[in-house]
Chains A and B, each alone.
Chain A
Amino acid sequence: MIDTGAPIRSLRRGAVALLAAAAVYEAVARSGMFPAALFPTIPTILATLVDMLADGSMLLHAAYTLYRVLVGFGGAVLIGVPLGVLMARFAPVERFFMPLVTALMPIPSFSLVPLFMLWFGIGDVTTILIVLYAATFPITINTWSGVRAVNPLWLRAAGAMGADETALFRKVIIPGAFPFIITGVRQAFLRAWIAVVGAEMIAASDWGLGWVIFDSKEFLNTDVMMAALVVIGLLGYVFERLVFGAVERATVLRWGMVRQAKG
């Protein structure tokens, strides 16, 4: 049923699709249908990207964005995981925080940007807080449902074998809830990544990938814009696939809690 040619054919078709899309884009860009300033050719975009990487400005933009996203996201993990665990283990905590979480979660983080700009000014504080706001809820909710989903049989078995609270927590609850926590962290990172770009566009500072995209609109530097888009996409991909993929492999996959999903 599975013939060995299939993966190669998939790869070839994938490459064909990407090349075809690039060719169509290139043809449109060169045909002069649209002003060249709005529709730069792919070589122009690549040249801009290389230039900006070489003079270090793109790296600095990326570094600022990464700093903001990682600080905000780290804060979200530090708040979200303990809060989720507490909510799942103690009913009063759940009763107090669940209505708040349910009410705050549907507020898009961007709608707070103008407010935070008034309160905290333009720059790092505002962007980091927006990231924090965007990332905390998925982590909290997933940790909460993960801890609640831990098989009660495991808890009773561990209890019967004489595990105390700490051991129960460290050896059963956290590993049991980990697949959910990882999923929450991944979702949270995606949201944080979106939030940082948006927040940088609106609460503009002088550096950051979101800012550079928005700023280059003013000067019709579409090539800079596209180059920054590429960097944003690559960085997001690296985090999503490589970093979280590695974490997942080192924990839940190794523990045999979930199976490797395809693709």
Chain B
Amino acid sequence: MTFAAQGTATLSGDVPASPAADGRLRVVARNAFPFLVVGGIWEILAHAGVFPALLFPTLERVAVTFVKLTVSGILPLHALETLARLLSGFALAAVFGVAIGLLMGRSRRMEDYLLPLVSALAPIPGLAYTPLFLLWFGPGNVTSVLLVGFVSSFAVIYNTWTGVKAVKEIWLRAAQSMGADDRRLFRKVILPGALPYILSGLRLGLAQAWRILVAVEMLAAVHWGLGWLIFGAREFLNTDAMLAGIAVIAIIGLALERLVFKRLEDYTVVRWGMVAA
């Protein structure tokens, strides 16, 4: 329940839709206002020359760099490379995580065997494994994808496991007494019943994968990727390129949260009436 609070912070107080356009404008203005204030402070600081301009570029310079890098295709290429890594790592985590979680939830024996291993490995921050993976698999894509998959699978495993165990006993017994066999029980009762948990696990896993990937790219010396872009920009004091990279990272992060998972949830658990919209 409390996990759901994370990242789903939407603005409350929907404006009544009588003059719909007017209301929407008000919401936009209200949301934009804090950014204008912060941007204004930034501009004043940057123009006042309190800090060296090289380290504290004005927003218009960041914007110019952003456009220049986008038009020349450098920024999109970095972003694509990062997304490809994110998705392949996360796909690994989703497949293995859900499978292991289901096994642990359904079989007492597997739970007993696997839980200690999972709980021994989980408290070590994923990034701490980076140097080890680097030594074992060398710098580059293999290391980053494996690491992202490994790290984000724990959230998926835990949530899937909890979800399967949280399926109401009475649903199982009802389905059984109505003659459902094991396969149908699994497909029609357990899987849908556990899905809200599985989805929140995937969501947490993706968020974790995203957070860690940027650092992994900095450490694993891959030659494309947003993490590498901002890390490399430091060498040349390209603070504007760095900030442009951070902006892209923020946009992708927000898009992942809002577009991918919101939608997935709407199509499945919300439509089935398992959680409130």
Contact = CB atoms under 8 A, between A and B. Distances in A.
A16 B134 CA distance: 30
What is the predominant secondary structure among interface residues of chain A facing chain B? helix
Nearest to B256: A106
A217 B129 CA distance: 11
Given A95-B30, A111-B249, A201 B112 contact: no
Given A114-B234, A115-B246, A236 B124 contact: yes
Interface of B: 2, 5-7, 9, 11-13, 30-35, 37-38, 51, 55-56, 109, 111-117, 120-121, 123-132, 134-136, 207, 210-215, 218-219, 226-227, 230-231, 233-234, 237, 239, 242-243, 245-246, 249-250, 253-254, 256-257
Interface stretch (A151-159, A166-174, A208-216): A208-216
Contact of B115 (A14, A109, A141): A14
A60 interface: no
Contact of B112 (A13, A106, A225): A13
B123 A38 contact: no
Given A18-B117, A117-B234, A210 B109 contact: no
Contact of A114 (B34, B51, B231): B231
Interface of A: 9-10, 13-18, 21, 34, 38, 91, 94-115, 117-119, 138, 141-142, 144-145, 179-180, 183-184, 187, 193-194, 197-198, 201-202, 209-210, 213-214, 216-217, 220, 222, 225-226, 228-229, 232-233, 236-237, 240
Contacts of A18: 116-117, 120
A252 to B, nearest CB: 12
Contacts of A144: 9
Contacts of A197: 125, 127-128
Contacts of B125: 193-194, 197-198, 232, 236
B36 to A, nearest CB: 11
Contacts of B254: 102-103, 106
B26 to A, nearest CB: 11
A236 B120 CA distance: 11
A113 B55 CA distance: 14
B233 A119 contact: no
A179 B233 CA distance: 43
Given A13-B112, A142-B5, A187-B6, A108 B215 contact: yes
B120 A108 contact: no
A253 to B, nearest CB: 15
